[in-house]
């Protein structure tokens, strides 16, 4: 076996886990509005159990439905009515030999009124989080004791539902962590003040669960090894927290970090490298005798194996990687590393959740739709299908069609698969973007897809194959705004620059367009020794992405000295500069520039669609070729179209 440490049995208390691979707890918003588990959420977890995970942690489960929720449609464990559906989930996971823990959660001051029928959040002290809109009400001493009982009751619900254990969420700035932290706990009773007193809320929950559920029901505690903010505690205190929960009776420690105020560190945006948090688990493991779980953008089986082999952790938890590829463990066990569909750290899943939607994934369209998007039916019967374009949408369409038994030919005009990902990876901290292209190359080869690189499809070459269906993922092209001077030789599109078609150094560059592409282009240009200015018509830049990623990009702009000029519109390009005007005052000014890069969006490439529209009944156009969108828009459309062809 290639990874013997990963697939060695593990022990948590008296519980045996078949391997060392854990699915980390992450919200899905797949429950009903009342917190009841649905067929969708059950299928979501069953898919990952089938994929080979040894232990699955179910997402946050609210112990006090009236005030605890930080996200919509989370799991509810403050009522026995939750038990039947939870038991269906447990049975489904157990059928694949996996174990399941539920996560006891209370948002405290990070709970959201929108998710709690307008109720004011509560906390150990009436101190508002800088990242949340509501000031919490301080819990009375009696309410603290009642809340402890609610955690214990939630554990009982999990045990009665057939779960193998439970986890206390004492991390990420939620209520238990609020009690632990001096930053948020200013109480003067027995639950505040000294470290022992601040730990009391957590330790009494652990002890209460052990007394009520018995020592054979394992208790995990997810802790913040570091809070990640200047006012919070560091690793030294995090180690003391670990020791305290072990002394209280915990069976395993799940190492994490960061409250809401410490993001983006808490969500591992693209700038964070694989396994960057492992040092925390390593330090905790040296200080305790119970097992430790590590997490932190872990994607590669080889890296995970090394973490265990080197004694840095007992278990490895995959978070968003388990969303991107639920079969990661099975593929690793079989030595099929190249077939793993890796997480891009693109934040699609998190953006969708915090935007009021359910779980989703840019590279795995089935994530959250496992019940809806059935497994491909093999009824292609060798019929020829043509896919044009080797970007994310084209790769996904070709993959599903090949699984279904169609004979797939894919045309890609570039020298490799990936589409815009090929040059998007050149932006700062976006190396992960190439992962999907590498996966596509491997999986399409395995499935026998006839991939024709460096070949631009034409209507004639498509007709020559007499295809049963044609899938057009022809993408879109960057364009230049037709202002005077737009056609001068020193004017480029962002696509031309990011693709490496032009190299710039020691230049004065004006980047026109402050969306994500424009911001990434300006930051990259400035990082390579150019003087860059960013021109945007709107009052602010980079408004169309998840906030934590936006913060990182803006920090890059500042770091590399990009001059950000908002509420400005381009009027004219000259040989030595750009004329812009203020959107409000209409006053014009000139920016010195010997190079201009336009990042103003793209225009769909629909040439082939227009030529073939009258010829083929089964003609599909999707991704940027249909309308400019994100990776998930392309892969989801591709998946659905390929799945439903003659279904």
Give 518-531 pLDDT, tens digit per residue.
999 999 999 999 99
Domain-terminating residue out of 354, 372, 401: 354
List the CATH number of the domain containing 470: 3.40.50.720
Query: Is 191 a residue of the active site?
Result: no
CA dist 54 and 51 (Å) reads: 9
Of residues 336, 332, 304, 331, the one with CA closest to residue 318:
304
Going by pLDDT thresholds of 50, 70 and 90, the confidence category of residue 210 is very high
Domain count, the chain: 3
If you write DSSP's letter for every residue of 307-376 in order, what string do you get? Answer: HHHTTS-SEEEESHHHHH-TTHHHHHHTT-GGG--------HHHHHHHTT-----SS-TTTT-TTTSPPP
Residues 589 and 624 in one domain: no
In a domain, 3, yes or no: no
| 73 within domain boundaries | yes
Q: Which residues make Cβ contacts (< 8 Å) with residue 17, sequence separation at least 6? A: 9, 10, 11, 54, 55, 99, 315
Do 399 and 315 belong to one domain? no
The domain in which residue 41 lies consists of: 10-354
According to DSSP, the β-strands at 384-388 and 491-493 are: unpaired
Mean pLDDT calculated for residue range 288-293: 98
Give a yes or no: residue 363 inside a domain.
Answer: no
The model's confidence at residue 265, banded by pLDDT at 50, 70 and 90, is confident
Q: Is 533 in the same domain as 549?
A: yes
Mean pLDDT of the chain: 95
Tell me: pLDDT of 268 over 90: no
**In this predicted structure, what is the pLDDT of residue 627?**
84
7-55 per-position pLDDT tens digit: 999 999 999 999 999 999 999 999 999 999 999 999 999 999 999 999 9
Count CB atoms within 10 A of the CB of residue 329: 31
CA 73, chain centre distance (Å): 18
Same domain membership, residue 617 and residue 562: no
Of the ranges 95-104, 212-221, 429-438, which one carries the lowest mean pLDDT score? Answer: 429-438
List strands edge to edge, sheet with 568-574. 568-574, 577-582, 588-592
Q: Is the pLDDT of residue 647 over 70?
A: no
What's the pLDDT at 84? 97
Residue 585 shares a structural domain with residue 635: no
201 shares its domain with 183:
yes
**Residue 448: per-residue pLDDT:** 98
Clarify whether residues 138 and 279 are in a common domain: yes
User: What is the per-residue pLDDT for 303?
Assistant: 98
CATH number at 52 reads 3.20.20.70
Instruction: Give 113's DSSP letter.
Output: G
Percentage above 70 pLDDT, the chain: 99
What is d(CA 357, CA 368) in angstroms, rounded to the nearest whole number?
11
For residue 551, the model assigns a pLDDT of 80
Of 174, 191, 468, 641, the catalytic one is 174
Residue where a domain stops, chosen among 600, 619, 634: 600
641 phi, psi to nearest 5 deg: -60, -45
Place of tokens 């699915």: 23
Considering the domain architecture, whether residues 200 and 324 belong to the same structural domain is answered as: yes
Under the banding of pLDDT at 50, 70 and 90, the label for residue 546 is low
User: Is pLDDT above 70 for 539?
Assistant: yes
Higher pLDDT, 374 or 240: 240
Structural domain contains residue 4: no
Residue 365 falls within a domain, yes or no? no
Specify if 139 maps to a domain: yes
What whole-number percentage of the chain has pLDDT above 90? 87
Report the alpha-carbon distance of residue 535 to residue 530 in Å, rounded: 16
Q: Is the pLDDT assigned to residue 636 strictly greater than 80?
A: yes
Phi-psi group of 214: left, alpha or beta (phi > 0 → left; psi -120 to 50 → alpha; rest → beta):
left
Mean pLDDT of 574-598: 95
**Structural domain contains residue 318:** yes
Residue 379, pLDDT score: 94
pLDDT at position 374 over 90: no
pLDDT at 263 exceeding the cut of 80? no
Segment (H or E) for 42:
helix 39-50
Distance (Å, whole) CA 117 – CA 123 = 17
Q: Residue 549 maps to which CATH number? A: 3.50.50.60
53 and 156 share a domain?
Answer: yes
Strands (DSSP E) found in 415-558: 450-452, 469-472, 476-478, 491-493, 508-512, 531-535
Indicate whether 154 and 297 sit together in one domain: yes
Are 254 and 104 in contact by the 8 Å Cβ rule? The answer is no
Q: pLDDT (tens digit, 9 = 90+) per residue, 320-346?
A: 999 999 999 999 999 999 999 999 998
Pick from 354, 373, 408: which residue ends a domain? Answer: 354
DSSP collapsed to 3 states, 521-561: HHHHHHHCCCEEEEECCCCCCCCCCCHHHHHHHHHHHHHCC
Residue 360 in any domain: the answer is: no
Do 89 and 233 share a structural domain? yes
pLDDT of amino acid 494: 93
Same domain, 467 and 564: no
Backbone angles phi, psi at 234, to 5 degrees: -105, -165
Is the pLDDT higher at 267 or at 618? 618
Mean pLDDT of 403-410: 98
| Token digits of residue 111 | 């709970």
């Amino acid at each position: 076996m290639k990874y013997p440490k990963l697939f060695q049995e593990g022990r948590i208390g008296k519980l045996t886990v078949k391997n060392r691979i854990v699915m980390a707890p992450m919200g899905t918003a797949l429950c009903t509005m009342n917190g009841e588990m649905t067929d969708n959420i059950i299928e979501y977890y069953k898919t990952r159990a089938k994929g080979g995970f040894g232990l699955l942690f179910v997402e946050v489960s609210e112990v006090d439905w009236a005030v605890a929720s930080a996200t919509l449609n989370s799991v509810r464990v403050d009522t026995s009515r939750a038990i039947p559906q939870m038991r269906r989930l447990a049975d489904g996971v157990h059928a694949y030999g996996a174990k399941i823990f539920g996560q006891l959660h209370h948002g405290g001051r990070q709970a959201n009124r929108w998710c709690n029928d307008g109720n004011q959040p509560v906390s150990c002290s009436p101190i508002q989080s800088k990242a949340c809109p509501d000031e919490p009400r301080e819990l009375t001493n009696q309410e603290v004791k009642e809340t402890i009982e609610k955690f214990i009751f939630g554990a009982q619900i999990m045990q009665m539902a057939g779960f193998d254990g439970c986890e206390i969420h004492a991390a990420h700035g939620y209520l238990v962590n609020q009690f632990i932290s001096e930053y948020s706990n200013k109480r003067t009773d027995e639950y505040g003040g000294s470290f022992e007193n601040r730990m009391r809320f957590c330790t009494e929950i652990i002890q209460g669960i052990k007394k009520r559920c018995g020592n054979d029901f394992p208790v995990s505690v997810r802790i913040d090894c570091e809070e990640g903010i200047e006012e919070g505690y560091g690793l030294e205190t995090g180690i003391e927290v670990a020791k305290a929960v072990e002394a209280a009776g915990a069976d395993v420690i799940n190492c994490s970090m960061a409250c809401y105020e410490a993001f983006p560190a808490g969500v591992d945006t693209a700038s964070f490298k694989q396994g960057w948090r492992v040092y925390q688990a390593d330090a905790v493991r040296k200080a305790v005798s119970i097992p430790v779980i590590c997490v932190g953008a872990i994607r590669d089986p080889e890296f995970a194996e090394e973490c265990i082999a080197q004694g840095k952790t007992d278990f490895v938890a995959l978070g968003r990687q388990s969303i991107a590829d639920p079969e990661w463990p099975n593929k690793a066990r079989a030595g099929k590393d190249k077939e793993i569909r890796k997480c891009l750290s693109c934040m699609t899943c998190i953006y969708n959740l915090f935007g009021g939607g359910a779980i989703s994934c840019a590279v795995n369209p089935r994530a959250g739709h496992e019940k809806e998007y059935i497994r491909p039916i093999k009824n292609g019967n060798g019929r020829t299908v043509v896919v044009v374009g080797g970007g994310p949408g084209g790769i996904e369409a070709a993959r599903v069609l090949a699984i279904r038994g169609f004979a797939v030919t894919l045309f890609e005009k570039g020298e490799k698969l990936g589409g815009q990902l090929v040059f998007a990876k050149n932006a700062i901290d976006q190396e992960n973007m190439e992962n999907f292209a590498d996966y596509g190359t491997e999986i399409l080869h395995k499935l026998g897809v006839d991939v024709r690189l460096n070949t631009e499809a034409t209507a004639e070459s498509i007709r020559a194959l007499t295809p049963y269906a044609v899938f057009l993922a022809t993408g879109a092209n960057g364009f230049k705004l037709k202002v005077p001077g737009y056609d001068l030789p020193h004017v480029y599109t962002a696509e031309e620059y990011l693709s490496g078609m032009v190299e710039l150094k020691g230049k004065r560059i004006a980047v026109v367009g402050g969306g994500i592409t424009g911001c990434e282009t300006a930051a990259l240009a400035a990082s390579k020794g150019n003087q860059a200015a960013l021109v945007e018509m709107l009052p602010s830049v980079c408004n169309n992405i998840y906030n934590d990623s936006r913060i990182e990009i803006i920090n890059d702009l500042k770091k590399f000295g990009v001059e950000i000029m908002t509420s400005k519109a381009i009027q004219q390009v000259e040989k030595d500069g750009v004329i812009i005007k203020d959107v409000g005052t209409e006053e014009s000014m000139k920016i010195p520039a010997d190079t201009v890069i336009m990042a103003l969006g793209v225009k769909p490439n629909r040439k082939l669609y227009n030529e073939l529209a009258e010829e083929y009944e089964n003609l599909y156009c999707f991704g940027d070729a249909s309308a400019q969108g994100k990776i998930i828009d392309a892969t989801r459309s591709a998946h659905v179209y390929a799945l439903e062809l003659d279904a």
